[in-house]
Amino acid sequence: MRNILRRTVLAAAASLVVAAPAAFAEDSSGVADTGGPKLVLQIGGQTEGKVVIDLLTDKAPKSAERLMTLAKEGKYDDVVFHRVIDGFMAQTGDVQFGKKGGDTSMAGMGGSDLPDLPAEFSNISFQRGIVGMARSADPNSANSQFFIMFAPAPHLDGQYTVVGHVVSGMDVVDKIKKGDAARNGVVDDPDYIVKATVEEK
């Protein structure tokens, strides 16, 4: 049951999908760049480019540390964007079942070999560019998967941990290959993370 925002929440939100407004700024999340560590994603596939995520180590220290740990270990390399819903979000990070070139039919159901994380809810709203931790029905079940918002989704506020926000490369995020709406965003031949690295000052 690891796939609730990996499945059911997205199903509920699919009815709210609208096109992401083109007028949004590069980072319209309303969250200032903290100057802290950055998760850098090199995207490949149909879409190519670099996405830089400012990790909110003050708001979600355990979740931010998890993303950094997995990136430094190379666990996110070649992991696909298995569920992408136009006007809503792009989800990735299943290091167990989401590796490009393998059987990704279970992508969205897995995590890592590390323990699940406690919820780290904050008052940050899910706006365009916000990065959240995916989880199952249990609020304390986030592990490795995360999602990037194409557009505001305030119904997620206080329900999912906000772990960061995109500070560069939202134009790349916007181009990530979209999934089949009839299949709740499941993507055939999905784009993927070629390499994930961490930049620390």
Residue 26: predicted pLDDT: 53
* Rounded distance between C-alpha atoms, residue 120 and residue 98, angstroms: 25
Q: Give Dmax over CA atoms of the chain in angstroms.
A: 44
Query: 50 or 7: whose pLDDT is higher?
Result: 50
* Rounded distance between C-alpha atoms, residue 101 and residue 115, angstroms: 26
For residue range 4-47, list pLDDT tens digits in order. 454 434 433 433 333 333 333 456 677 889 999 999 999 999 99
For residue range 68-85, list pLDDT tens digits in order. 999 999 999 999 999 999
The pTM score is 0.88
On whether the CB atoms of residues 165 and 53 are closer than 8 A, the answer is yes
State the sign of the Cα–Cα–Cα–Cα dihedral 47, 185, 190, 116: positive
Q: Could you give the residue ranges of the DSSP H alpha helices within 25-147? A: 61-72
Q: What are phi and psi of 64, to 5 degrees?
A: -60, -40
Q: Stretch 175-193: mean pLDDT, rounded?
A: 95
Residue 197: predicted pLDDT: 98
